[in-house]
Amino acid sequence: MKAVLFFFAACQLSAVSNAEAQTLPPAKVSYENYEALVAAVKPHRAQRLVGLSRFLEMSREPNTIILDTRSAEMYRRKHIKGAVNLSFSDFTQESLAALIPSRNTRILIYCNNNIEGDPLVFATKTVVPKLAGPETKPVTLALNIPTYINLYGYGYTNVFELSELVPVLHAGLEFEGADMHRYKTFQRYKK
């Protein structure tokens, strides 16, 4: 009896799902809109790529934030000192407005592909033909680009992007986070 009821319920759900699928509107996804946005962003971004020294200089100026859009876990482990975090997957008009109320705020961005020498916390985002297949060409998939595009799309146009690959041990770059606490403890232990 239970099996018959289960079968009947499954058939009803299937019928409802099929009927709903025929009447649902298209997803809120437009490749054409995205292409137009990318075309508008390209020349804007080209003028706003800055080297490390300028990036750090700008970070100390008023009305400026460093935005880290990596996962909350990677941010917690290690990030550029003073950076704030909003994971890219959490971008909405509301979440951005809560973090950055003024669209005039200067936003400095960086990602994994800007930091070299810490493959655990700053893993390079690159398609590797050896892993993806011999017909695949190497492609960098830096988070900076979709971050820039989305910030621009949400009306944040005062964005600057770190343009250099910086060694994690670079003297001018300071980090903070849980991994830095462990590193400092290890350094004290070594002495």
Superfamily of domain 30-190: Rhodanese-like domain (3.40.250.10)
Six-digit token pair at 150? Answer: 């989305």
Q: How far is 41 from 185, CA to CA, in rounded Å? A: 43
List the domain boundaries for the chain. 30-190
pLDDT tens digit string along 67-96?
A: 999 999 999 999 999 999 999 999 999 999
Per-residue model confidence (pLDDT) at position 185:
44
**Nearest CA among 168, 137, 162 for reference residue 147:** 162
Residue 138's pLDDT band (boundaries 50, 70, 90)? confident
Q: What is the CA 151 to chain-centroid distance, rounded? A: 11
pLDDT tens digit string along 37-61?
A: 999 999 999 999 999 999 999 999 9
Q: Give 159's strand partners.
A: 107
Q: How far is 52 from 170, CA to CA, in rounded Å? A: 10
Residues whose CB falls within 8 Å of the CB of residue 84, separated by 6 or more in sequence, listed in order: 65, 66, 67, 68, 99
Q: How far is 178 from 78, CA to CA, in rounded Å? A: 6
Per-residue model confidence (pLDDT) at position 109:
98
Per-residue model confidence (pLDDT) at position 187:
41
Q: At what angle do helices 144-153 and 31-46 cross, to 10 degrees?
A: 100
Residue 133's pLDDT band (boundaries 50, 70, 90)? confident
21 or 165: which leads in pLDDT: 165
Per-residue model confidence (pLDDT) at position 186:
40
Per-residue model confidence (pLDDT) at position 130:
74
